[in-house]
Chains A and B, each alone.
Chain A
Amino acid sequence: MPLQPIKFYQTGTFTVGNRLLDESQRTVQANMRRTNSLNSGHRACQGCGEALGARYALDAAMQATKNRLIAANATGCLEVFSTPYPETSWQIPWMHSLFGNAASVATGIAAALKVKGKQDVRVIAQGGDGGTTDIGFACLSGMFERNDDVLYICYDNEAYMNTGVQRSSATPPAARTATTPAAGAHPGNSFGTGKNVPLIAMAHRIPFVATASVANLHDLEAKVNKAMTIHGARYIHIHVPCPLGWGSHPSDTLKVARLAVESGLFPLFEAEHGEITASLRLRKKAPVEAYLKLQRRFSHLFGEKPDRDTIAMIQAIADRNIEKFGLESP
């Protein structure tokens, strides 16, 4: 009789909690006493992936640091929806300066903590993809290169959402944004553009780089936890669907995120000192179409006459990722 390995808990390690698991093995999010670093009452859209991702990441970091945490935030949705005067949703010491300088502000905070001998207090910088891959990129690279003791978290919703969904260098090919309209011979964002900041971060040979998704909380928390055990510059790039910008249903936020991972379009991996050390195998491989179809920003690819060629080009990107990052079990 093929006996199963006995560590099996109904939902295994995929749900947020699991009454059958030891409390220490459940996620931080399952804990009744989690910090809710980003509290209720914020003004993010319904089903906002960024709001969720930020709480996931910061609650995990709070636990990992025993609540000794300070965050610097770039301008963007996360900042705007969390801190409109006269209320803030943050429960942790938090500061917003500008759109493009979160990494540097964090460097300054870390430097101050160092001279003050408060090295138990850890620093996180965070921003959207625009604030990270575009306007904040120089500051980010500088922070990496100096190996400052900062964990930078990018919440990638693949466009400038706060200003009304314009293209960023993280916008995927074919996606419609306000500045890459679904018009003309090649509707949506151009192929062959954009940059992969996790890989660029790795090129700085910093101690830790990882990608994560709101669709895989356990993996996300593990990466944040690991990052908090390391000193020096660290980078986590979290995929966070934006129902508004992507034209997906608010209740589909995690489904969409999951399909991005399961299709191979958003590979989950981690790297240390410039070398990939682990990548997450796809659980239930999905075609890119399943992912694209849920989002109005790709709706021009479907309809009466589906744009098979473009879909195939996107599938090829996913396939390349699967190959490159070894996302399929051997």
Chain B
Amino acid sequence: MLQQLEGSRAIAQGIALCKPEVVCAYPITPQTHIVEALAEMVRTGELANCEFINVESEFAALSVAIGASAAGARSYTATASQGLLYMCEAVYNAAGLGLPIVMTIGNRAIGAPINIWNDHSDSMAMRDAGWIQLYAETNQEALDLHIQAFKLAEALSCPVMVCVDGFILTHAYERIEIPEAHDVDAFLPPYDPVQVLDCNDPVSIGAMVGPEAFAEVKYLQHRKQLAALELIPEIASEFSARFKRDSGGLVKPYRLEGAETIVVALGSMNGTIKDVIDEMRNEGHAIGSLAIVSFRPFPLQAVRAALVDAKRIVILEKSLSVGLGGPLSDGVRKSLSGTGLHGHTVIAGLGGRAITRKSLKALFVKAEMDELELLDFLDLDRDIVNVQLEREKETRRSGPVAENVLKSIGTVASRIA
């Protein structure tokens, strides 16, 4: 059924269709609308047979999910930004224990400076925690990925994060096709855990493992993700067969035929990128793009196959590995090793900075002229940066950077001054 809905609401409806048995969450923008909607559905009975638990922190939220999952319940939580970091220890733990929890990340920047807007710093910080990470391009895909995520998580006994750009998706109203319940039921069998706390078959879960077996446990975690590389496309095609639309998969190539320049990106900015590509293709540029859906596991083969015939690669990233560059680039460059191709990392959209078509087009043109640095920043205001650098050089006690920058822009100068 096609509906005009806020992204969060749509995602919540998709999750409800998956019949989670325990939902727990702690509020943080921009995740709130998802869990509010779920709370309401549990209260009204629309989502039956589900415990909604209001916890006191994200650490508790994921911990409750861990307990619930180990006791055999399909468990779900959602968070973002500071909240994800607050539960960091549990994030690793859930993966280490192999509990198939599904968690939505409403992607948001991490402070300081505190910032509620979108970028990928939060989920990127957890990229090595052992979770599968899927990035949604649209709200339709976000909804669809959740349904696939439960199937994937439970098949592998591995937790899955579905990353949805905060505000850009979570708060956007779109026309969304809500799947039919019977289709979801047919697609997603009931949760059949590989290990469960059961009085009739007691086990101890969460042993302490020393050097004699720790590496093996970790390697087995890695093997699960390798298996996911096979499973994700299978599930995606099963999904499209049943629901009659394409969603998910490992990567999504766009107009790659004959492309000399390929733009690689995660999440919602692929929409804008595609618009620019369409425009430039019309103008005769040989350009295409590759959206990466599965960032963990990172589909090295698929990425390489998609990119190998290009001349240059632009990797657009909403996250900065401070002191190095971009985390997505690490994977992409690795997939290109031996091809002689350069990947240009461009950091964009940090803390909600708009990624405009205009800027992108200018960037791509610059790329075609091979004028990009290996690490570049989209729409970075060098003047402001220079002023602050000067200031720091002059006075030791130069004041807080964030406030200084805001003053330079003039947004709050009048109020602060």
Instruction: Name A residues whose Cβ lies closer than 8 Å to a Cβ of B.
Output: 67-70, 72-73, 79-80, 82-86, 88, 90-98, 100-101, 104-116, 121, 138-139, 141-142, 145-146
Would you mind naming 13 contact pairs between A and B with Cβ atoms under 8 Å apart? A84-B208, A84-B210, A93-B202, A94-B197, A94-B202, A94-B203, A95-B205, A98-B90, A98-B93, A108-B22, A111-B68, A116-B71, A138-B57
User: Considering the chains assembled together, what is the distance between the CA atoms of A86 and B209 in angstroms?
Assistant: 8
* In contact, A93 and B197 (Cβ under 8 angstroms): yes
Given A97-B66, A106-B67, A138-B57, does the pair A111, B22 have CB atoms closer than 8 Å?
Answer: yes
Binds A, one of B48-56, B106-114, B358-366: B48-56
Chain B residues contacting A86 (CB-CB under 8 Å) are 207, 213
Task: Please provide the 9 A-B residue pairs with the shortest distance between their CB atoms, ordered closest to farther.
Answer: A108-B67, A142-B56, A112-B73, A104-B63, A96-B206, A112-B71, A105-B67, A101-B63, A88-B204
B72 close to A (CB within 8 Å): yes
User: Considering the chains assembled together, what is the distance between the CA atoms of A143 and B61 in angstroms?
Assistant: 11
- A104 (CB) vs chain B CBs: closest residue: B63
| Shortest distance between the CB of A80 and any CB in chain B (Å) | 6
Given A85-B208, A108-B68, A112-B71, does the pair A138, B60 have CB atoms closer than 8 Å?
Answer: yes
Interface residue SS majority, chain A: mixed
Chain A residues contacting B50 (CB-CB under 8 Å) are 115
Given A70-B197, A109-B67, does the pair A83, B53 have CB atoms closer than 8 Å?
Answer: no
* In contact, B60 and A112 (Cβ under 8 angstroms): no
Given A98-B63, A107-B53, does the pair A112, B68 have CB atoms closer than 8 Å?
Answer: yes
Chain A residues contacting B55 (CB-CB under 8 Å) are 104, 107, 142, 146
Chain B residues contacting A67 (CB-CB under 8 Å) are 199
Instruction: Name B residues whose Cβ lies closer than 8 Å to a Cβ of A.
Output: 21-22, 24, 49-51, 53-57, 59-61, 63-73, 75, 89-90, 93, 97, 197-199, 202-210, 212-213
Chain A residues contacting B60 (CB-CB under 8 Å) are 101, 104, 107, 138-139, 142
Chain A residues contacting B208 (CB-CB under 8 Å) are 79-80, 83-85, 96
| Shortest distance between the CB of A91 and any CB in chain B (Å) | 6
Chain A residues contacting B207 (CB-CB under 8 Å) are 83-86, 88, 96
Chain A residues contacting B205 (CB-CB under 8 Å) are 94-96
Q: Tell which of B57, B64, B69, B212 touches A107, judged by Cβ atoms closer than 8 Å.
A: B64
Q: Tell which of B53, B66, B97 touches A146, judged by Cβ atoms closer than 8 Å.
A: B53
* In contact, A95 and B67 (Cβ under 8 angstroms): yes
* In contact, A104 and B59 (Cβ under 8 angstroms): yes
Most chain A C-beta atoms within 10 Å of own C-beta, residue among B57, B59, B60, B209? B60
* In contact, B63 and A105 (Cβ under 8 angstroms): yes
* In contact, B67 and A104 (Cβ under 8 angstroms): yes
User: Considering the chains assembled together, what is the distance between the CA atoms of A70 and B68 in angstroms?
Assistant: 12
Given A98-B90, A146-B53, does the pair A112, B204 have CB atoms closer than 8 Å?
Answer: no
Given A101-B60, A104-B64, A138-B60, does the pair A85, B71 have CB atoms closer than 8 Å?
Answer: no
- A145 (CB) vs chain B CBs: closest residue: B56
- B94 (CB) vs chain A CBs: closest residue: A97
Chain A residues contacting B68 (CB-CB under 8 Å) are 108-109, 111-112
* In contact, B67 and A139 (Cβ under 8 angstroms): no
Question: What 19 additional pairs, Cβ within 8 angstroms, besides A90-B204, A141-B56?
Answer: A68-B199, A79-B208, A83-B206, A83-B207, A83-B208, A84-B207, A88-B207, A90-B202, A94-B203, A96-B207, A97-B66, A98-B89, A104-B64, A109-B197, A112-B73, A114-B51, A116-B71, A139-B57, A142-B56
